[in-house]
Amino acid sequence: MLNGIPGCLGPQLLFNLRAMGHGDEIALVDANYPAQTDALGTGGLVRADGIAMAGILDAVLQLLPLDAAVEHAVMIATVGGDGKTFDLVHVEMCNIVARRAANRPVLAMQGAPFYQRVKSAHTIVATGEPCLYANIILRKGAIGPGATA
């Protein structure tokens, strides 16, 4: 354990977060997502079995600066991939983003484009979240000179 680092962030995830550069993306996916398969073309798969989406998302957003150079640095899957329908878990995820990254809009995406984007993420984190379609992509930003890193 480390001071100031949420306990649900294991060493592999911390390594990947630190290794990501500006513009790299990380996908946090639910327990039903085919993470092992989709991670074949990415920087890696990190297992976070037993950890719900809310816990891991909140912990990651405590450390990860979001990209301010793009309109949407946060993309979320929707129920059935329709691009419109949210479930309670999606509302919770959006509330966490609003709390940790105020004024950052969340882009609701349709299924195929969302899943294609996951396949090109730097890292895929397979959570223990049982809710269906509880998947989110975060785009890393930069920390400028003089900022505390």
Catalytic residue among 30, 58, 115, 122: 115
Tokens of 75: 């993309």
Burial of 90 (C-beta count, 10 Å sphere; 0-12/13-18/19+) = buried
| 133 noted as active-site residue | no
Helices in the chain by DSSP H: which ranges?
11-19, 35-38, 53-63, 88-100, 111-119
What gap in Å lies between CA 104 and CA 118, rounded to an integer?
20
Residue 5 φ/ψ, nearest 5 degrees: -105, 120
| 87 noted as active-site residue | no
| 72 noted as active-site residue | no
Catalytic residue among 58, 67, 90, 133: 67
Give the catalytic positions in this structure: 22, 67, 115
